[in-house]
Structure 1
Amino acid sequence: MPIPTDYSTPVRLSAKERTLSQLQKWIIDGTLQPGEKLNDSELAEALGVSRTPIREAFQLLEVQGLIQMFPGKETRVTTLAKEDILKLYAPLTALQALAAELAADNIQPEHIEQLRAINASFNEKVSEEQLYEAMEYDEEFHETILQIANNQHILTFCSSLQLHIRRYKYIFFKRPSWETHTAAADHEYIIQALEARNGEEASRLMKLNLNRPLEHLDKIL
């Protein structure tokens, strides 16, 4: 039989990848609470996998700072500490502000269209109160700007920092909807600055957007 060549290769996730993705989501959205003790046997049964991918996922989750393992004793979800969040946001904000400035020099009309499409999807998910999906679109928006900046070192460092602050960001998205919609407005202003190739303004607006959740830090934690 003839085999077509113009098709997308299906994405097949291993048991380890599926397990890691689900545990990340549960920790971020609060299904697994900060400080909660994790039982590998119970999680394996719930996810329909053996204990091996659970333990493999645990190792990666500990590297990401989402859990803490005490060999031979227990494994717990890490708590959210105000001091840690502040330490993470400072370098992330500086790097993403620099990326926005660099992106202004590289921006093309197709990039503007792409950013506006992502922001529209973000705003739609916020309106539908699909907050985890909204967070993913928010991250896609910022990662797209990182890609346009074309600096692999900035991209790598930001990706690492982003993993550590996802739980706090999700909590911010659960704030009153008008606050979350403000993030979509921030995105549009950033797009306008990039479209005008105004790197200084794009950088300033990026800092404003990323620092907005910190305004609520004392109220949330």
Structure 2
Amino acid sequence: MPIPTDYTTPIRLSAKERTLTQLQKWIIDGTLQPGEKLNDTALAVALGVSRTPIREAFQLLEVQGLIQTFPGKETRVTTLEKADIIKLYAPLTALHTLAAELATVNCQQEHIEQLRAINASFNKHVKNEQLYEAMEFDEKFHETILHIANNQHILTFCSSLQMHIRRYKYIFIKRPNWESQAAVADHEAIIDALEARDAEAAARLMKHNLMRPIEHLDKMF
């Protein structure tokens, strides 16, 4: 289990939070491969923490579907299954589509400016091939719209689904640059629809954007 030594993590986090964040990143970006066995002692040494934060992180990672623990035996990174991805994207797309429609009612000019700034950062990281950071700004864009929609139930359900599909999203964003640039254009069109308070267009464009990765699923599996 090769473990990188040149990683960076956010400051002002507890050992548990820092450990969870780093393990999530390594699983999502493929540093820790699907099916790979995880050694809590080796990870503790690499991250400079005791085994307790590792074990606490493992519990949360299992809830998020990123690892699977076999008590008394081993812990492994879960594999990516095509059928599971399709099952996850269907409700996620439906919820984000509804959120885009609801957001047109609440969207103010400051929201529009915020979304344009986030999309500009997304575009910048895509062009610089900083793919993990680009993925985070893509998620921030969609999460901002969820907050504008002001429906806590949609936000909660989307948050749960989002973590399960992050690994696939990272694989998708690693595809040819023009495909990620298409996502930037999708975002701009969604912003325009929100600014025009066109609920039908916002919902349609959001659905198109969220379904884009599914269109490429057969090429990746």
Instruction: Provide the TM-score with structure 1 as the length reference.
Output: 0.95
Percent of matched pairs sharing the same residue: 81
Amino acid at match of 2:213: P
The alignment covers a number of residue pairs equal to: 212
Amino acid at match of 2:32: L
Larger gyration radius, structure 1 or structure 2: 1
- Tell me, which stretches of 5 or more residues in structure 2 are unaligned? 1-9
1:186-197 residue pairs with structure 2 within 5 A? 186-197=186-197
Distance 1:114 1:11 in 2: 25
Amino acid at match of 1:99: A
Amino acid at match of 1:74: E
Distance 1:77 1:160 in 2: 18
Amino acid at match of 1:109: Q
For 1:61, the equivalent position in structure 2 comes to 61
Runs of at least 4 residues off by over 4 Å: none
Amino acid at match of 1:55: R
Instruction: Provide the TM-score with structure 2 as the length reference.
Output: 0.95
Q: 1:165 to 1:121 in 2, by over 3 A?
A: same
For 2:141, the equivalent position in structure 1 comes to 141
Distance 2:152 2:133 in 1: 26
1:161-200 residue pairs with structure 2 within 5 A? 161-200=161-200
Distance 1:43 1:220 in 2: 29
Cα distance, 1:12 vs structure 2: 2.3
Cα distance, 1:218 vs structure 2: 1.0
CA deviations 1:88-138 (Å, max 9, x no partner) are 000000000000000001111111000000000000000000000000000
Amino acid at match of 1:117: A
1:1-221 residue pairs with structure 2 within 5 A? 12-221=12-221
CA deviations 1:188-215 (Å, max 9, x no partner) are 0000010110011100000000000011
- Tell me, which stretches of 5 or more residues in structure 1 are unaligned? 1-9
Distance 2:130 2:12 in 1: 25
Distance 1:138 1:95 in 2: 16
- DSSP 3-state at the match of 1:52: helix
